[in-house]
């Protein structure tokens, strides 16, 4: 049976255009949670109000990205209950990661606007009638 977090991981990786790594990277050959040609990503998801990111986690991701052929490390912080994704990367990698995500045809702005409109309609249908 697929867990809630496995399903969430699949959705987040698909949304970003990244290929999900089976078993969340616990294989000796494939590390971390998602990847593309130029990115190696780790996902931290929560239904809570905070996510903890330890420096050791960053160092491990950087090491695995280097071993995987010089990929750029990317942390994805997911506040699942709010459907909010934060992308955390080294400043020196931001251009390469941005280019790669664009190459993967990411349109997060349109998706966010769509989600905001849906949430607005669900939260206040009477307000929509007034507008």
Q: What's the pLDDT score for residue 70?
A: 95
Q: What's the pLDDT score for residue 129?
A: 43
Domain ranges of the chain: 4-130
Cβ atoms of residues 4 and 10 within 8 Å: no
pLDDT along the chain (131 residues), means of 10: 79 92 69 93 94 94 95 96 94 95 68 63 50 40
Torsion sign, CA atoms 40, 62, 96, 7: positive
Looking at the DSSP bridge assignments, the partners of residue 4 are none
Fold observed for domain 4-130? Trna Endonuclease; Chain: A, domain 1 (3.40.1350)
Q: What angle do CA 51, 122, 77 make, to 5 degrees?
A: 15
Count each helix (H run) and each strand (E run) in the chain, helices first.
Answer: 5, 5
């Amino acid at each position: 049976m697929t867990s809630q977090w496995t399903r969430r991981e699949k959705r987040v990786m698909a949304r970003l255009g990244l290929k999900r790594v089976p078993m969340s990277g616990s294989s000796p050959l494939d590390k971390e949670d998602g990847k593309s040609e130029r990115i190696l990503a780790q996902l931290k998801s929560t239904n809570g109000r905070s996510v903890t990111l330890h420096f050791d986690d960053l160092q491990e991701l950087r090491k695995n990205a280097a071993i995987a052929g010089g990929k750029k490390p990317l942390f994805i912080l997911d506040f699942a209950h709010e459907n909010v994704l934060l992308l955390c990367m080294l400043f020196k990698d931001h251009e390469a990661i941005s280019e790669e995500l664009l190459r993967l045809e990411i349109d997060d702005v349109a998706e966010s606007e769509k989600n905001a409109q849906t949430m607005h309609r669900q939260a206040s249908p009477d307000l929509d009638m007034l507008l």
